[in-house]
Amino acid sequence: MTEKMLQFTHLAQQTPEKRKVLARRADFDEIYARFDTQAAKAQASRCSQCGIPFCSVHCPLSNNIPDWLKLTAEGRLEEAYELSSATNTFPEICGRICPQDRLCEGNCVIEKGFDSVTIGAVERYITDTAFEQGWVKPIAPKTERRQSIGIIGAGPAGLAAAEALRSLGYQVTVYDRHDRVGGLLIYGIPGFKLEKDIVLRRWKWLEDGGIKFVLNADIGGATSFASLRAAHDNILIATGVYKPREIAGPGSGLPGIVPALDYLITSNRHGLGDSVPDFTSGRLNAAGKNVVVIGGGDTAMDCVRTAIRQNAKSVTCLYRRDRENMPGSLREVGNAEDEGVVFTWLAAPEAFLGDDHVTGVRATRMHLGLPDASGRMSVDPIAGSSFTVPADLVIKALGFDPEDAPAAFNEPSLKLTGWGTLKIDPASFETSLPGVFAAGDIVRGASLVVWAIRDGRDAAASMHRQFMAAEMLQAAE
């Protein structure tokens, strides 16, 4: 039966069922069930088909959300998939990990008393069904082009660019320092948000489409940057940002205080079946420990929820602002609270206790002041408010800064911005080196996966325009 639209007036918002807390704490499987066909159609029919779709406006990819919601409601799912995949390289991944509460769903024009359309769950349903039905075909360019593109980084920006360029017929090789494709999708984001089979499925799809992968690559070391440039017509740098922001204070160098990404990579590698000494030794394993995570972003939420699944004795998240002013997804906070994480808001560490290993975090209470230069409310310590949280493992989740790309690639001609990101021409994505482009977090700074996908696609389009312009000029001569 075909659903009519604008059903939000009498049809309540429904999200996919969540697994019971005790069950999901015991493993790293995704916590949300999948919509069945009728639920997906019904929830898609709640869309108001508004004249100005703010869901699309606030999507970094400008996805045609109302259109594929309507097609889903009408049972035209293959068409919905074609429309969804036209603007998004990995819709099934974005449907799982995007902070929809801050982007599309958070800007739905349906009055909040009626609750927004569950866009992310429908997006995931469309593409998962498309894979099951065989609608997702390998990339098949209409014309093979002679130009070769080398992409450094197999994360979302690099993979999005690779797919776009290969679809246009370019010869694409992706280099990555890890032994699997996906970057943070495979090693940074826990399985309870994104099961690894989803990423591995896309890896195979890209290979089936003719994209080549060189893994365990040492660009700037065993493979010089100059030789890579000589082997390809263009280079795209899409390495992301991984350097953890440090925390100051007495005791900050004690053993037991670790960066968030080291902790998450270790957990994900263990889950993938790798032998990981830091996990088996207990250094990066929360089992039986009092864990304190410092930070309030999505990475911090990944860490606290991972620690719960590793059977930590206790898990506390310290964040210097309050719940309403945290940068992470409030949906993730709710999931973490359900699973047993304790949030201590308006608290910042001032010292780390212990002799040869951390035993606790001494924190101080904070209060919110006037907005600072960034527009966010400033935080100030409250005198005499110190308290101590026991800790056997402290995880620093304070964000990431870019590594020194010119030094890493042994290519001093690459210019940086004042923030340490690669400097590019914003119109072309080209760096200070001709024929070398950059996209994603290495340019933007630490951001969302969906923005990396957007940047990768835009950089690919820029390269294609340059190649076409050069060919037209050559033909005119």
pLDDT per position as a tens digit, 101-137: 889 999 999 977 779 999 999 999 999 999 999 999 9
How far apart are the C-alpha atoms of 393 and 292, rounded to whole Å? 6
In a domain, 139, yes or no: no
Shared domain for 257 and 373, answered yes or no, is yes
Mean pLDDT of the chain: 95
Residue 466 in tokens: 């340059």
Tell me if 288 sits within 8 A of 300, measured CB to CB. no
In a domain, 394, yes or no: yes
Shared domain for 358 and 300, answered yes or no, is yes
In a domain, 166, yes or no: yes
| pLDDT given at position 3 | 64
Q: Calculate what percentage of the chain has a pLDDT beyond 90.
A: 90
Least confident residue range of 107-111, 140-144, 263-267, 287-291:
107-111
Shared domain for 186 and 229, answered yes or no, is yes
Structural domain count of the chain: 3
How far apart are the C-alpha atoms of 287 and 393, rounded to whole Å? 10
How far apart are the C-alpha atoms of 161 and 236, rounded to whole Å? 9
Number of C-beta neighbours around residue 379 at 10 A: 18
Shared domain for 126 and 31, answered yes or no, is yes
Query: 437: helix, coil or strand?
Result: strand
What is the extent of the structural domain holding 451? 148-241+402-476
How far apart are the C-alpha atoms of 181 and 196, rounded to whole Å? 11
The CATH number of the domain where 105 resides is what? 1.10.1060.10
Last residue of a domain, one of 399, 430, 465: 399
Tell me if 99 sits within 8 A of 329, measured CB to CB. yes
Tell me if 251 sits within 8 A of 457, measured CB to CB. no
| pLDDT given at position 177 | 96
| pLDDT given at position 374 | 74
pLDDT per position as a tens digit, 422-451: 999 999 999 999 999 999 999 999 999 999
In a domain, 460, yes or no: yes
In a domain, 140, yes or no: no
Shared domain for 359 and 440, answered yes or no, is no
Mean per-residue pLDDT for 383-407?
95
In a domain, 84, yes or no: yes
Shared domain for 45 and 162, answered yes or no, is no
- 65-73 vs 77-87: helix axis angle to the nearest 10? 170
Shared domain for 116 and 93, answered yes or no, is yes
| pLDDT given at position 119 | 97
The CATH number of the domain where 366 resides is what? 3.50.50.60
Nearest to 239 by CA among 90, 401, 93, 405: 405
Last residue of a domain, one of 399, 426, 453: 399
Q: Taken in order 371, 372, 378, 381, is the CA torsion positive or negative?
A: negative
Residue 472 in tokens: 């037209």
pLDDT per position as a tens digit, 271-329: 999 999 999 999 999 999 999 999 999 999 999 999 999 999 999 999 999 998 888 88
Mean per-residue pLDDT for 372-385?
87
Kindly tell me if the per-residue pLDDT of 220 is higher than 60. Answer: yes
Shared domain for 222 and 288, answered yes or no, is no
Last residue of a domain, one of 399, 432, 459: 399
Tell me if 116 sits within 8 A of 106, measured CB to CB. yes
Containing H/E element for 131?
Answer: helix 119-133
In a domain, 141, yes or no: no
Shared domain for 19 and 126, answered yes or no, is yes
Confidence of residue 1 (pLDDT cuts 50, 70, 90): very low
Shared domain for 100 and 167, answered yes or no, is no
Q: Taken in order 419, 422, 426, 432, is the CA torsion positive or negative?
A: positive
Q: Calculate what percentage of the chain has a pLDDT beyond 70.
A: 99
Shared domain for 183 and 252, answered yes or no, is no
In a domain, 253, yes or no: yes
Kindly tell me if the per-residue pLDDT of 160 is higher than 50. Answer: yes
Kindly tell me if the per-residue pLDDT of 54 is higher than 70. Answer: yes
pTM check: above 0.85: yes
Of residues 217 and 376, the one with the higher pLDDT is 217
Shared domain for 377 and 257, answered yes or no, is yes
Kindly tell me if the per-residue pLDDT of 2 is higher than 60. Answer: no
Confidence of residue 69 (pLDDT cuts 50, 70, 90): very high
How open is the CA angle 86-108-334, to the nearest 5 degrees?
A: 100
Kindly tell me if the per-residue pLDDT of 75 is higher than 80. Answer: yes
